[in-house]
Amino acid sequence: MNYEFTIIVPLYNEQENLRRVEEALTKYIEIAKKKTCVLFVNDGSVDESLVIIKDICSRNPDFKFISFEKNCGLSAAIKAGFDYAHTPLIGYIDSDLQTDPEDFNILMDYIAEYDLVTGHRADRKDSFVKNMSSLVANGIRRSFTHDGMDDTGCPLKIIKADYAKRIPMFKGLHRFLPAMILLQKGKVVQVPVRHYPRIAGKAKFHLLNRLVGPFIDCFAYLWMKRNYINYNVVAKDE
């Protein structure tokens, strides 16, 4: 249907939120600046999430889904979304709707000039502990990557597909998407977006995996940076 923009929605046990997601994204599609479709990526949910997204997709041709056999983690779900999207632009939003799909239009204003546009939750509505742990984790990551990003964990992003599909994903790499675009000599920018409290479902990240995980992943990123293959073909035999 000549879609230009795919919104990936990774989810794990989010049955309480999915009807809200359907409503919010349906409204966004009507005002989107690019012709938009939605791709649910069910990360092995063990609640009724898969039943609900099957129902949503059966009623709406702009919604599709893929489902994992078992839980593989957020990075795997995002990678699968990149692999299965067939549009020049790919977006990402969490199923908890702590960010607003309408803010994709704000990010879309920058995507012509940049290769990744990420939201920045300047006024976060999370707990003090969660905000402080994210602040520390972002500081650690930024000291390793020098990507200039204050909030790589913001679940609202747009990426040009040719860059997204070249990212060699590993577990935890969702925290390093801007840095991976920079490794490809791409351009990144962060833009303030709205943020809301979670009103349903349970957060999948806690203090330990918000701090220890990013610190360990930084060393994996450094290894990848040293060994990253990056080339440009300037001529070829026709």
pLDDT digits (tens, 9 = 90+) for 87-119: 999 999 999 998 999 999 999 999 999 999 999
Asked whether residue 68 is domain-assigned, the answer is yes
Asked whether residue 59 is domain-assigned, the answer is yes
184-188 LR contacts (CB < 8 Å, sep 24+): 184/115, 184/230, 185/230, 186/114, 186/115, 186/116, 186/160, 187/113, 187/114, 187/115, 187/116, 188/114, 188/115, 188/116, 188/117, 188/118, 188/147, 188/148, 188/149
> What is the pTM for the complete model shown?
0.80
Number of domains forming the structure of the chain: 1
Asked whether residue 18 is domain-assigned, the answer is yes
Are 14 and 77 spatial neighbours (Cβ–Cβ below 8 Å)?
no
pLDDT of residue 133: 56
**The domain containing residue 85 runs over which residues?**
5-227
Q: Is the pLDDT of residue 44 over 80?
A: yes
Asked whether residue 232 is domain-assigned, the answer is no
The CATH number assigned to the domain holding 186 equals: 3.90.550.10
Asked whether residue 238 is domain-assigned, the answer is no
Asked whether residue 164 is domain-assigned, the answer is yes
Asked whether residue 90 is domain-assigned, the answer is yes
Asked whether residue 154 is domain-assigned, the answer is yes
